[in-house]
Chains A and B, each alone.
Chain A
Amino acid sequence: AQKVTQAQTEISVVEKEDVTLDCVYETRDTTYYLFWYKQPPSGELVFLIRRNSFDEQNEISGRYSWNFQKSTSSFNFTITASQVVDSAVYFCALSETRGSTLGRLYFGRGTQLTVWP
């Protein structure tokens, strides 16, 4: 069964601190995709990254970076030099690659990040 665990419910940091959001997943598929979404107070999901299971290269995009480790089934997200605008709920998600429910996403419970000025 597919499962995504975000153990951190809430994180508070002060501006300019670095923060890492953890994500651990479970799947029996050999091919799968992992995602991170940001949900600001407006509610609209903002896509941040998609990673497929056969690409373990870490990725950096500006202040954002992602560390994918299949050995530990983790896909952690780091924000460097956090800013107040980073305050939001962040969701990690896993998607299937086959079957009648192709494409459905399994979401973690989300991590509320609050960045204080």
Chain B
Amino acid sequence: GAVVSQHPSWVICKSGTSVKIECRSLDFQATTMFWYRQFPKQSLMLMATSNEGSKATYEQGVEKDKFLINHASLTLSTLTVTSAHPEDSSFYICSGGRQGSLFVGYEQYFGPGTRLTVT
């Protein structure tokens, strides 16, 4: 199957600083990348959808100025958490997607996640 990597796998930062998380599709071209956030013992919540070369589409309630998403190529998307606060501490998961066959549908491959702790 296709592989998506995330870097870093975990990060601790101080309140007020910015953190960048990278999401790479290693062996396929991801026409779309999705960013999810997961708080402890909760489900995954979609933050934004990004298509290569265009602006990301954010879900309602997600601050686009705080969570900057760049999808500059078909294999790389980045999420920057600006001016991070303790309430931004969470598990961030990206996925890369591509259109499969009719029977397969849209294929989406998840990265291993990045655990962000803001102190």
Which chain A residues have a beta carbon within 8 Å of chain B's beta carbons? Answer: 33, 37, 42-45, 47, 50, 52, 55, 91, 95, 97, 100-105, 107-110, 112
3 smallest CB-CB distances across A and B, nearest first, come from: A103-B106, A33-B105, A44-B112
Residues of A contacting B44 with CB < 8 Å? 91, 105, 107
Contact of A100 among B41, B57, B99, B109 (CB under 8 A): B57
| B32 A103 Cβ-Cβ under 8 A | yes
B115 to chain A: closest residue by CB: A43
Contact of A101 among B49, B93, B115 (CB under 8 A): B49
| B104 A50 Cβ-Cβ under 8 A | yes
| A97 B108 Cβ-Cβ under 8 A | no
| B60 located at the interface, meaning its Cβ lies under 8 Å from any Cβ of chain A in the complex | no
| A105 B108 Cβ-Cβ under 8 A | yes
| B43 A104 Cβ-Cβ under 8 A | no
B86 to chain A, nearest CB (A): 20
| A43 B113 Cβ-Cβ under 8 A | yes
| A43 B105 Cβ-Cβ under 8 A | no
* Complex alpha-carbon distance, A116 and B1, angstroms: 32
A80 to chain B, nearest CB (A): 25
A110 to chain B: closest residue by CB: B43
Residues of A contacting B93 with CB < 8 Å? 43, 45
Specify which of B105, B108, B109, B112 lies most central, judged by the most chain A CB atoms within 10 Å of its CB: B105
| B103 A109 Cβ-Cβ under 8 A | no
* Complex alpha-carbon distance, A50 and B97, angstroms: 14
Residues of B contacting A108 with CB < 8 Å? 43
Residues of B contacting A50 with CB < 8 Å? 104-105
| B67 located at the interface, meaning its Cβ lies under 8 Å from any Cβ of chain A in the complex | no
| B110 A109 Cβ-Cβ under 8 A | no
* Complex alpha-carbon distance, A43 and B112, angstroms: 7
| A101 B57 Cβ-Cβ under 8 A | yes
| B46 A52 Cβ-Cβ under 8 A | no
B41 to chain A: closest residue by CB: A112
